[in-house]
A and B are shown apart, each in its own frame.
Chain A
Amino acid sequence: MEAKKEFRWFSIVQHVQEQDYLREQHKKGWKFVKVTGLGMYHFEKCEPEDVVYQLDYNDDRDKAEYIQMFADCGWEHIQEYAGYSYFRKSAEEMNGDEEIFCDDESRLAMMDRVYKGRLLPLLIIFFACLLPQFVMHLTGGRYLVAAFMGGVLALYVVLFTIFAVHYHRFKKNMGK
């Protein structure tokens, strides 16, 4: 079977963009198979079809029961990747628009799970390790090491800012 691979990078709060990307691919006749590594998307050739893709982040669950509930509602489980579960359902089987969340409270609750599961550990490393080491090297006169650490810290700050901006944009767009 004909297949293709595409590299795409979506940050952990860009799941909406990622869903749209997968839906577009399916419309063009490329059925999503899996994502591997840092963001290598594998597809196989299929009949073009409108299929809705949805991502859920839930690391506190009984997997078999969780997948069963989605299956009961007509959502096919595809894979798990970086804490996210991938689901899809053909638009034809739906009554109007359907998503795996039906209110904004639960959409935001998912964002909060992403934050607790992914961003909080990074923040802890930032404040507990990186920042004190940076100050230690700087006050100890080891400027080369300090400059390197400073670079890592700057990268962190950029990452956090991107996450924060995405989060607030998501919150602002809620209810539309």
Chain B
Amino acid sequence: MDAHTRKVYVPMTETGFYILFCLQTPNHGYGIVQRVEKLTDGEIRLAPGTMYGTLSKMEKDGIIRFVREEDKRKIYEITELGTEVLQLEKKRIRRLYRTIQEEN
């Protein structure tokens, strides 16, 4: 993993994390919006401007890749680099969670 990827994505925004997390299964932008809404009991509703910008940037940075287009909706999936980033993030979040548990 190069310095740029590490700097931009570790740690990453909550929005970014959910998008990358969902793309472990190929999906399109609106599909991710719906999935995240379900995962968070409607607490997080991703907005299209944020979604579009994040997907473009993640594709450029090589952590997700374009798979195919269906009815004007681009389907993406996570790359190997993306999986590495996600593992680092999961580790970081688990550590955060552990700290909270121990200190409370």
Contacts and interface: CB of A to CB of B under 8 A. Distances in A.
B54 interface: yes
A69 B30 contact: yes
A100 B44 CA distance: 13
B48 A64 contact: no
Contact of A103 (B13, B30, B74): B13
Interface residues of B, number: 26
A92 interface: no
Contacts of A70: 48-49, 52
Interface of B: 13-16, 29-30, 33, 42, 44-54, 56-57, 69, 71-74
Contact of A102 (B46, B71, B74): B46
A72 B44 CA distance: 17
Q: Which secondary structure dominates where chain B touches chain A?
A: helix
Contacts of B72: 64-65, 68
A72 B50 contact: no
A80 interface: no
Given A60-B56, A73-B30, A106-B53, A99 B47 contact: yes
For this complex, into which size category does the number of interface residues on chain A fall?
20 to 34
21 contacts: A58-B52, A61-B52, A65-B69, A66-B52, A68-B72, A69-B29, A70-B48, A70-B52, A72-B30, A72-B33, A102-B15, A102-B45, A102-B47, A103-B13, A103-B14, A103-B15, A105-B16, A106-B47, A106-B50, A109-B53, A109-B57
Considering residues B14, B49, B57, which has the most beta carbons from chain A within 10 angstroms of its beta carbon?
Answer: B49
Contacts of A6: none
B56 to A, nearest CB: 7
